[in-house]
Structure 1
């Protein structure tokens, strides 16, 4: 990392690092090619055929092998390319932009399993897994508990200690992605029948070394989305495994999972945004090809279509602000990421899924197409919701944040120091990740401190900036009201809030965190490389949507906001650039 370089050399080193990341992303985009080209074997027609057949997209995986994508999941200290979580997200977004199933099946699941080992495993375990991943092997993670609504702390796999010091496994895990080809398996199991935080443990296993007859693969399960992913299961019948398989001490599994979720929730949520980028581009392309008069038409249908497209772009930027901030917080504010990771995963199904359905207004009957360039839209609509399910779904995110609300309201909100500017600057060099700094709940929130600080610092030189300042001030008032309501909650054991009122309060908090991220990105990118991020128009449009989601009565935005955002949508489509914060070239 550049943190040990002389001060004068750090900007140059950071610039080189950013250039290298952009070059890697560009190389991958070029390798995958134009997805709309019917002759491209990695294009939409080929991947849609694989989806219809419910098989893995083999050619896409071969190209990712050629690129060396499997090395992106291994830390640089162990011989891989993983130097920051943000870099991993940026390199994986081109894959998710093309096919969520390819992204999840090829590598995201391997990274989810591996992150437990990088964070909690011993040196021998880390080197063992790194060697396998570096030669292209896959890893799988067994956490899902379909019989208990994916509550991973109700594991049906139990492990009991033997007199010789080993473990014996019994029970089954019915839903494990990639198990059929995994050369490493991270398994969560119950090691203590008593309930509590010390009831579970995590194991790192080699499936090939499990004794025959004691571990049996179960039949494949199919899902509506991610049809090309292979979900298998495993049943254990008094299956012996060595004590050396333990990741951390016995009983540390719940803490391991909760720390791991802070990374996996953020990474997956940030990666899957790329699918919405493609959905927006698909809708814009369809509109350009089919609307008489193009974007200059004044008909009411044209106005509704334009509103849907520009609104989708604002939603995408709004969500990406929170996703990017949460990703960078893993390095910059790791103690605070339990809240941010949960907020970004909590908003995933609402903002991104609703955005894609809103874009169906543009497609009309084309929404149902399963072939051609429109087929990818329908596939993303089916795939994205599946990513938001499971142990890291909406309820799990609520369960993470709600218990922290009283402490945050009493000790942090309107008291905490504002988050550093680096948190809001996509692509800026990051310090090395320190897993030891991850905290299950630290009672601090520097991101929300950006909201009142930025609201007090908006110049208000023109109508758009004045609208932004007004909206920011309104949201600061909403934040104060949220604090008062949280402090008034009934508490159990003087710490944990009870009652149905907790859930809408958590919802409001997640939206206010998104507003803080929007303001932070706008404020700290003045004079940056992307003039659009420095423009108040998109930020005002984003805050306007958040305020309306919160139920606030807000005036219409100045016409300049819609005009500027619409122009950016057209410009990026014409220039073949992505719709996310990184604004990088994309093929097709």
Structure 2
């Protein structure tokens, strides 16, 4: 949840963008859908974000921007994503991805230039991807050969957001000829400094979702790059990227949760107006179950990402395991919840115009959450090698996490990029907090105690299995049964985050998150995923969730953890 300044900026942006369903609003859903039909970025929306100075959210305070705490940035971006995910990615997140690579490296002129460009409302693209290598960044072929104090580029980058619209590129390139870990570097390449006959753009890559986002490519043919382009230290590009991923793999799925918020809000508008069988569709038991389940999944995703965002400030040495766990664990329930809501909307979920037309766009736009920037499978390969050390060092230690990790409203010092590490080294305060918290559950409701104990037991089983994994079982060739351990671990992490936030809120008596109903719903659904049971809620819990959901809907309050006012 954002701090005071972040909440003020969210409120300001909500007011600027206005009520999305209002037909007279030039920034509303009708205009968003029209841009989507043209497969264009929403130009009026971009101008509104320019006026707001959205890029300043991505630039650290020390570099002249407003980026102080990650949860502030996430909540501001949720305001954009809940209206148009293409704006969220094509205007905002793409520059954020490029920027964090500058902030994750040492100070220097290129870093200052990235900040200057963003604060001037310019676009900076992050050019990592090559189709031949996918997420295997060590296989990157685009070569940057030394040429005096500068470089010469040969090769291509493909499926890169804003590569043609951008003023500059953060370019990941091969600067060494060997096979070790220090063969790649990052360069800040300003296109205005390149000779026009030495580079060219590839045809746009068409996509089903995010149709307004400009996905393109670029080829370089012995293209000179002036001196001073090196971003960070030569040969340290992969390490910088890994640290930067810890922010992007946490923040991008977190931003996308507001897509589900709008999907749920659209569905509610339909089922509470539509009459069937003598009552509203909202009264049908199956519909009620889908709505309550989507609400629970949204809360889980926002609590999990909120705790992970705070961990980047409070436990930066452990973010290398939490970030890919968030990307892996949040994307699937978000997409699945939207798909289930689509079955409730029925034919309305296919319409491209009208009151519910926004849903089909959101259903298409949310799918890239699972693979954009980095695929879920890659997140598994990042998490898996870290499990044995965590099993031996942390999970049975009973060491509690810092209380501030679960205080979503609590103070946060500025994020220290220099404290981010390539590996957590077996440290995992979030998972180990679960058995530690069970020592003081005597006063908790029986359902909470039972579910918390179930996940603590799951962690004990994981500890035994993961501690015995051999090195050859931790590679890309690991058996499916070994990869399944990451599923179980991510569910435990999400449960620990939700349990910790609930306990903190209960101790302080604060609002709906202090109610055990949402926790029981979330833990029940997480538990069902680990054993592949139907995602059903315990008796009585569904009614409590729906009462809160309808209350928020009637008062134009967000469905996520903040419950803040939104433009209706």
State the TM-score bracket (shorter-chain normalisation). Answer: over 0.9
Which of 305, 329, 350 aligns to 2:311? It is 329
> Residues 527, 499 of structure 1: CA spacing in aligned structure 2 closer, same or farther, 3 A cutoff?
closer
Which of 183, 199, 209 aligns to 2:183? It is 199
CA contact (8 A) 1:305 1:361 kept: no
Deviation at residue 174 of structure 1 after TM alignment:
2.1
Matched, 1:562 2:545: no
Matched, 1:444 2:430: no
Which of 440, 445, 448 aligns to 1:457? It is 440
Deviation at residue 348 of structure 1 after TM alignment:
3.1
After the TM superposition, which residues 334-353 of structure 1 pair with which residues of structure 2 at under 5 Å, given as runs? 334-353=316-335
Matched, 1:410 2:395: no
Matched, 1:525 2:494: no
Deviation at residue 410 of structure 1 after TM alignment:
0.9
Q: 1:411, 1:394 → 2: CA distance?
A: 26
Q: What's 2:229 paired with?
A: 245
Q: What's 1:283 paired with?
A: 267
Secondary structure of the equivalent of 2:126? Answer: strand
Q: 1:587, 1:529 → 2: CA distance?
A: 28
CA contact (8 A) 2:281 2:287 kept: no
CA contact (8 A) 2:193 2:226 kept: no
TM-score when scaled to structure 2? 0.95
Q: What's 1:21 paired with?
A: 6
Q: 1:318, 1:541 → 2: CA distance?
A: 9
How many residue pairs end up in the alignment?
Answer: 566
After the TM superposition, which residues 299-448 of structure 1 pair with which residues of structure 2 at under 5 Å, given as runs? 302-415=284-397, 417-442=399-424, 443-448=426-431
Q: 1:323, 1:354 → 2: CA distance?
A: 17
Deviation at residue 225 of structure 1 after TM alignment:
0.9
Q: 1:183-237: CA deviations, max 9, x gaps? A: 2210001122332321211111111111221122222221111111111211111
After the TM superposition, which residues 2-151 of structure 1 pair with which residues of structure 2 at under 5 Å, given as runs? 18-151=3-136
Secondary structure of the equivalent of 2:186? Answer: strand
> Residues 436, 20 of structure 1: CA spacing in aligned structure 2 closer, same or farther, 3 A cutoff?
closer
Deviation at residue 455 of structure 1 after TM alignment:
3.0
Secondary structure of the equivalent of 2:272? Answer: helix
For structure 2, list consecutive stretches of 5 or more residues without a partner in the other structure: none
Matched, 1:505 2:485: yes
CA contact (8 A) 1:28 1:67 kept: yes
Matched, 1:234 2:218: yes
Matched, 1:548 2:533: no
Deviation at residue 390 of structure 1 after TM alignment:
4.2
Q: What's 1:189 paired with?
A: 173
Q: 2:211, 2:534 → 1: CA distance?
A: 43
Q: 1:272-313: CA deviations, max 9, x gaps? A: 111111111111111111134656976xxx000000000000
> Residues 346, 557 of structure 1: CA spacing in aligned structure 2 closer, same or farther, 3 A cutoff?
closer
Deviation at residue 575 of structure 1 after TM alignment:
1.1
Q: CA RMSD in A?
A: 2.2
Q: 1:502, 1:79 → 2: CA distance?
A: 46
Q: What's 1:4 paired with?
A: none
Deviation at residue 440 of structure 1 after TM alignment:
1.2
Secondary structure of the equivalent of 1:80? Answer: coil
CA contact (8 A) 2:199 2:220 kept: yes
Q: What's 1:170 paired with?
A: 154
> Residues 472, 449 of structure 1: CA spacing in aligned structure 2 closer, same or farther, 3 A cutoff?
same
For structure 1, list consecutive stretches of 5 or more residues without a partner in the other structure: 1-14
Deviation at residue 90 of structure 1 after TM alignment:
1.0
Q: 2:282, 2:114 → 1: CA distance?
A: 58
Which moved further from structure 2: 135-144 or 491-500?
491-500
CA contact (8 A) 1:201 1:250 kept: yes
CA contact (8 A) 2:311 2:319 kept: yes
Q: 1:277, 1:216 → 2: CA distance?
A: 40
Secondary structure of the equivalent of 2:82? Answer: helix
Q: 1:534-583: CA deviations, max 9, x gaps? A: 01111011111111111187998653322211111111111111111111
Secondary structure of the equivalent of 2:506? Answer: coil
Deviation at residue 429 of structure 1 after TM alignment:
1.5
CA contact (8 A) 1:157 1:190 kept: yes
CA contact (8 A) 1:490 1:498 kept: no
Secondary structure of the equivalent of 2:514? Answer: coil
CA contact (8 A) 2:320 2:422 kept: yes
> Residues 193, 502 of structure 1: CA spacing in aligned structure 2 closer, same or farther, 3 A cutoff?
farther
Deviation at residue 243 of structure 1 after TM alignment:
4.3
Secondary structure of the equivalent of 1:175? Answer: strand
Deviation at residue 418 of structure 1 after TM alignment:
1.5
Which moved further from structure 2: 357-366 or 269-278?
357-366
Deviation at residue 242 of structure 1 after TM alignment:
3.2
Matched, 1:586 2:566: yes
Secondary structure of the equivalent of 1:181? Answer: coil
CA contact (8 A) 2:525 2:536 kept: no
